[in-house]
Amino acid sequence: MKEHLTEADLEELVDGEAVSTRWVERLLHLRHCDTCQQRAEELFPRRGLRILKKLFPSLAAASRDPDGPDGQVWVDLECIPDAILRRVMELNLKLAREEEKAVGLWRRFRDQKPERWSLLVRNHPGFGTLGMMNLLLREARRFWRRDPRRAEQLTRLALEVHGCLRKADYDARCLDESEALSWGYLANALRVQDRFREAEEALVIGERKLTDRDAILELAWLRRIRGALLRDMRRFDSALSAVREARKLFGRVGAWEDEASMVVNEGFILRQTGDVEESASLLER
């Protein structure tokens, strides 16, 4: 990238919520361009050369932003080696290609019986990718409420795909996070079907799989699902604790819509416990 970064480019960098190939290219440019670094520091004097640590959770060097919501964790740009940035770019390019192929492949086979899906996972090379697994999880999430049985089938298929992946082709942390989230999604599909015991068992597995405590977003989702499960089981005190933890975690990574959803959930649980006044106070903030 020879041209200097625009103000919009720099704003996207410091507010980045996900790593993309284009995002990494801009970050590499910023690393080695004195002009763009000076411009970033002028525009964002507190944040110009820092990014959210969640985008590179394996890095040890980090600082907390006292002005950020719930103390968001940042890492100095100079602490991120170029080799890591290029590796991230390579992995994202690979995943983007896999997901592009997965979309076309899934369109061909999505209307077949679930028994056929399992055969395809074991025998069709296009199904054995992380891109396909991510696609199946997105599909499962769409069906949580309108067809939880299908959501369950899709999530179980995603777990089958995980079992067939060539582990050497992917980052181990990324695989662990995807597997943990899959178990959480399965738990939620089971919860909506009132299969609470099975949901609890699936959720425990997901929580055990998530060994990296820097996987904040995935942990937030597991806490969110646990809160919903405990609420449906009418264990309201425990549900409130889980929902409040999820709310803080979503806030730490800037997932504002999910954080707001947790506020609504907290208010709903408070209302169920009979604490109407506190519920109303919370929702009016």
Which of 259-270 are b and which e, b meaning 16 or more Cβ less than 10 Å from the residue's Cβ?
bebbeebbbebb
The reported pLDDT for the residue numbered 125 is 81
Chain segment 214-224, per-residue pLDDT in tens? 678 899 999 99
**Average pLDDT over the chain, rounded to an integer:** 80
Chain segment 180-218, per-residue pLDDT in tens? 999 999 999 999 999 999 999 999 999 999 876 667 889
Those residues whose C-beta lies under 8 Å from the C-beta of residue 63, and which sit 6 or more positions away, are 50, 73, 74, 75, 76
